[in-house]
């Protein structure tokens, strides 16, 4: 494996007295898609929020070779980390174009005035957003909203793109389209950390995967190995399986 762009060691997150994440270790290398799968409530969103600095955490987060102390969202965004949250968090009363422009806010703040070019690239990836560029974000369909959320994140020219359940609430055809686009994004060199309940689709495009259950990593491995692992097949890919993987 090449040098990791993101490495988290012994990450713990607590809500009050309840620990929601226990000693998570995880690595994402440049140009890689890494997926975290697991059932609802396993702590996947909590993990992303903690990495992004939206939640206080214990443990070490190393981003681009630098251990991040006093993690601040704004600082991480400026360094090239972006998160597309589960709820999209779009600016509903603003146009598609303005939403995208704001994605480049940190770049603009640091004197980069090249956002027009990036926007053309985003429109190349999501032609549908170009058609709707003057429309208010709040009036878009579910799939378009997800595209806008991803496009907005790409406007920051991220080194690491974190996606939280991009398939959530979308029709199967749109899910397929989104996953195609995610797989394509990898070719542009951005590292992707993909959190998904849709394990089958996620493992298909990912290089490496982690299975998160009740706040701990239950399994990890190359995504192909994981996809063949009988425990994963039974719980997440098979038709009949239910219940969690028992830690060995």
Partner 1 sequence: MDLQIALLLGQDGIVNGAIYALLALALVLVFAVTRVIFIPQGEFVAYGALTLAAFQAGKTPGTLWLLLGAGALVALIDTVIAVRAGALGRLKRIALWDLVLPAVVAGLVLWLEPGDLPLVAQVALSLAIVVPLGPMVYRLAYQPLAEASVLVLLIVSVAVHLALVGLGLLFFGAEGSRTTPFSEAQFNLGTLTVNGQTLWVLGASAVLIVALYQFFGRTLYGKALRATAINRVGARLMGISTTMAGKLSFTLAAGIGALSGILIAPITTVYYDTGFLVGLKGFVAAIIAGLVSYPLAAAGAILVGLLESFSSFWASAFKEVIVFTLIIPVLVWRSLTSHHVEEEE
Residue 31 CB, shortest distance to partner 1, in Å, is 23
Work out whether 117 is an interface residue with partner 1 (CB under 8 A).
Answer: no
* Under rule CB under 8 A, residue 90 binds partner 1: yes
Interface with partner 1, residue 94, by CB under 8 A = yes
The CA-CA-CA angle for residues 225, 227, 232, to 5°, reads 105
Which listed residue (2, 40, 70, 242) binds partner 1 by CB under 8 A? 70
Q: Are strands 208-213 and 33-37 parallel, antiparallel or unpaired?
A: parallel
Indicate the residue among 6 and 205 with the shorter CB distance to partner 1: 6
Q: Find tokens 């038709």 and name the residue.
A: 239
Q: Is 73 in the site for partner 1 (CB under 8 A)?
A: yes
Number of neighbours of residue 193 by Cβ within 10 angstroms: 25
Q: State the pairing for strand pair 58-63/66-67.
A: antiparallel
Task: Using the rule CB under 8 A, give the single segment among 28-36, 57-65, 71-79, 191-199 that binds partner 1.
Answer: 71-79
Stretch that binds partner 1, among 25-33, 65-73, 170-178, 196-204 (CB under 8 A): 65-73
Segment near partner 1 (CB under 8 A); pick from 36-44, 77-85, 120-128, 235-243: 77-85
**82 near partner 1, rule: CB under 8 A:** yes
Cβ nearer to partner 1, comparing 63 with 208: 63
DSSP secondary structure of 78-103: HHTEEEE-TT----TTSBHHHHHHHH
In DSSP terms, 192 is beta-bridged to 33, 161
Smallest distance, partner 1 to C-beta of residue 82, A: 7
C-beta closer to partner 1: residue 142 or 238: 142
Backbone angles phi, psi at 81, to 5 degrees: -105, 130
**How far apart (Å, rounded) are the C-alpha atoms in residues 160 and 151?**
14
Q: Which of 12, 30, 102, 233 binds partner 1 (CB under 8 A)?
A: 102
- Please, which residues have CB within 8 angstroms of residue 172's CB and are 6 or more apart in sequence? none
- Phi and psi dihedrals of 141, rounded to 5? -75, 170
Question: Under the rule (CB under 8 A), what is the footprint of partner 1?
Answer: 52, 54, 69-70, 72-74, 77-78, 82-83, 85, 88-94, 98, 101-103, 105-106, 108-109, 152-153, 156
């Amino acid at each position: 494996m090449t040098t990791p762009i993101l490495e988290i060691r012994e990450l713990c997150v607590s809500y009050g007295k309840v620990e929601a994440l226990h000693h998570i270790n995880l690595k994402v290398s440049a140009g890689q898609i890494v997926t975290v799968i697991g059932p609802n409530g396993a702590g996947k969103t909590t993990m992303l929020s903690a990495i992004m600095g939206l939640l206080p955490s214990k443990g070490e987060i190393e981003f681009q070779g630098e251990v991040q102390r006093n993690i601040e969202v704004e600082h991480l965004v400026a360094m090239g980390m972006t998160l597309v949250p589960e709820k999209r968090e779009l600016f509903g009363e603003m146009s598609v174009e303005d939403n995208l422009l704001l994605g480049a806010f940190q770049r603009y703040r640091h004197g980069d005035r090249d956002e027009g070019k990036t926007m053309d690239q985003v429109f190349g990836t999501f032609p549908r957003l170009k058609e709707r560029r003057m429309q208010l974000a709040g009036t878009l369909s579910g799939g378009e909203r997800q595209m806008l959320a991803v496009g907005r994140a790409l406007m920051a020219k991220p080194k690491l793109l974190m996606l939280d359940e991009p398939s959530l609430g979308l029709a199967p055809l749109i899910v397929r389209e989104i996953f195609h686009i995610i797989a394509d994004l990898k070719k542009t060199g951005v590292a992707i950390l993909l959190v998904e309940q849709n394990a089958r689709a996620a493992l298909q495009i990912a290089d490496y995967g982690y299975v998160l259950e009740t706040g701990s990593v239950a399994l990890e491995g190359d995504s192909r190995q994981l996809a063949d692992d009988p425990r994963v097949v039974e719980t997440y890919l098979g038709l009949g399986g239910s219940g969690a993987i028992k830690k060995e």
